[in-house]
Amino acid sequence: MPHLAALLRVARRLAAEPTSAEDLVQETMLLAWRGFHGFEPGSNARAWLFRILFNAFYGEGRRAQRAQGWRAQRAEAHSPASTAVDAKFQEAVEIAEALQALPIEQRGVLLLCVVEGFTCQEAAGILNVPIGTVMSRLSRARQELRTRLAPLTKEAYR
Partner 1 sequence: MTDDELDQRVRASILAEELDTAPLERSIRAHMGRRSMPRWAVAVAVGIALVAAVGLAYREFISPPTPPVCAAAAHDHNHEVANGLPREWLSDVSAIQSLAAQQGIPAEAIIALNATGYRLNRGRLCFLKNQIFLHLVYTRNDEVISVYLRRRDPDLRFGPSIHQASVDTEELAYFQTDQLTAVFVDEQSKTEALAFARASLHSLMVAAL
Where does this chain bind partner 1 (CB under 8 A)? Answer: 1, 4-5, 8-9, 13, 22, 25-26, 29-30, 33-34, 91-92, 95-96, 99, 110-111, 114-115, 142, 145-146, 149-150, 153
Nearer to partner 1, 72 or 115 (CB): 115
Nearer to partner 1, 9 or 46 (CB): 9
CA distance 85 to 143: 27
Nearer to partner 1, 15 or 25 (CB): 25
Q: What are phi and psi of 155, to 5 degrees?
A: -70, -45
Give min distance, CB of 84 to partner 1, in A: 19
User: Three-state secondary structure along 89-151?
Assistant: HHHHHHHHHHHHHCCHHHHHHHHHHHHCCCCHHHHHHHHCCCHHHHHHHHHHHHHHHHHHHHH
Give min distance, CB of 130 to partner 1, in A: 21
DSSP state of 83: S
Nearer to partner 1, 113 or 127 (CB): 113
